[in-house]
């Protein structure tokens, strides 16, 4: 199911799972509103005060109790930006002056750096640096800042005599645009809204690719939603094999990870185990009960399942 466009899918889902474990569903529900892209009508390089105000607005979105944020521009080599906590209520953000070309790119960088500050405030991190950056991008997108980052993505085409000779990409963050789209699709499902009106044309294309990948997860059994007939036959066969072992009172534990479920036998009862498509909570249901409704206790998602 994974391909080169979604090589970080597992890390993305680990990050979302960590968010639910750390914050809980009630807190995540407070991020229902997206952060809307403000129109920057000034030269942000010449008005640091306005940039600092933007950073404060993002901090407010996260509910951070920050008294002051200072922002500076300088040459930082390959690094786009970095945030430093000066005191418990103030921080400083250095932005690479050679990495930022327009307001969308600036907003994407501020969103990423303030998300670092938010994750520090809730004491959520992974041991590996790259995993932490994936966590940061995933958190920013899932909690309402995804439009800022996706709108900074751009494709540059150099044309000579009417023919495209080369294509280059402007990317911000550690996820690919399609992966940002995948996280945004999960957010859209969680809060039941359409993010397309807040995205530009290239960001919309990335979102639609991510949405397609996410929708494919909903077609995996035991969810009763558009599974292919061949997958249904395989699913039936797997349950029958487990049922035979259950009659023998034998141990049975098979993980069909590539198909999205696991089957096990406990006390002669066949169970199907799968993960919630939103928060990755493990859900266990008894087999051979027909079509049943399953409620996720962590994120409160509801699924119709074929058992």
Confirm if 62 and 114 have CB atoms less than 8 A apart: yes
The backbone torsions φ and ψ at residue 194, rounded to the nearest 5 degrees and listed phi first, read -110, 115
Distances (CA, A) of 192 to 43, 148, 198, 298, 304: 36, 19, 15, 17, 18
- Residue 66's pLDDT is 82
Would you call 77 helix, strand, or coil by DSSP? coil
pLDDT of residue 168: 44
Determine the pLDDT at residue 274: 93
pLDDT at 188: 95
pLDDT at 161 (0 to 100):
54
pTM for the full model? 0.87
CA 51 to chain centre: 26
Nearby residues of 18 by Cβ (< 8 Å), 6 or more positions away: 124, 126, 135
Domain ranges of the chain: 4-218, 229-306
- Please report the pLDDT score of residue 163 as a whole number: 55
Residue 183 pLDDT: 96
Per run of 10 residues, the mean pLDDT along the chain (length 307 residues) is 75 96 95 73 62 87 87 81 80 82 81 92 92 95 90 58 51 82 95 89 89 91 83 89 82 84 88 93 90 92 89
């Amino acid at each position: 199911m994974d391909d080169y466009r979604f090589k970080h899918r597992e890390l993305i889902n680990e990050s979302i799972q960590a968010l639910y474990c750390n914050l809980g569903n009630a807190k995540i529900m407070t991020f229902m509103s997206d952060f809307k892209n403000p129109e920057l009508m000034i030269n942000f390089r010449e008005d640091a005060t306005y940039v600092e105000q933007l950073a404060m607005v993002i901090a407010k979105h996260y509910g951070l109790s920050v008294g002051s944020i200072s922002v500076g521009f300088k040459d930082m080599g390959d690094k786009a930006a970095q945030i430093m906590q000066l005191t418990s209520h103030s921080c400083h953000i250095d932005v690479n002056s050679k990495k930022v070309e327009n307001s969308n790119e600036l907003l994407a960088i501020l969103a990423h750096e303030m998300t670092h500050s938010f994750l520090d405030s809730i004491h959520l991190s992974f041991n590996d640096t790259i995993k932490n950056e994936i966590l940061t991008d995933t958190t920013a997108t899932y909690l309402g800042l995804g439009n800022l980052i996706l709108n900074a993505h751009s494709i540059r085409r150099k044309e000579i005599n009417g023919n495209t000779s080369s294509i280059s990409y402007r990317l911000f963050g550690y996820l690919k645009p399609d992966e940002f789209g995948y996280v945004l699709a999960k957010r859209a499902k969680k809060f039941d809204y359409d993010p397309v009106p807040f995205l530009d044309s290239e960001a919309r294309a990335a979102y639609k690719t991510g949405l397609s990948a996410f929708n494919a997860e909903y077609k995996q059994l035991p969810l009763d939603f558009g599974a292919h007939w061949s997958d249904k036959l395989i699913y039936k066969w797997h349950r029958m094999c487990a049922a035979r072992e259950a009659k023998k009172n034998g141990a049975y534990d098979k993980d069909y990870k590539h198909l999205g479920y696991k089957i096990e036998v406990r006390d002669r009862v066949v169970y199907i185990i799968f993960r919630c498509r939103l928060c990755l909570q493990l859900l266990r249901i008894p087999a051979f009960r027909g079509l049943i409704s399953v409620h996720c206790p962590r994120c409160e998602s509801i699924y119709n399942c074929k058992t």
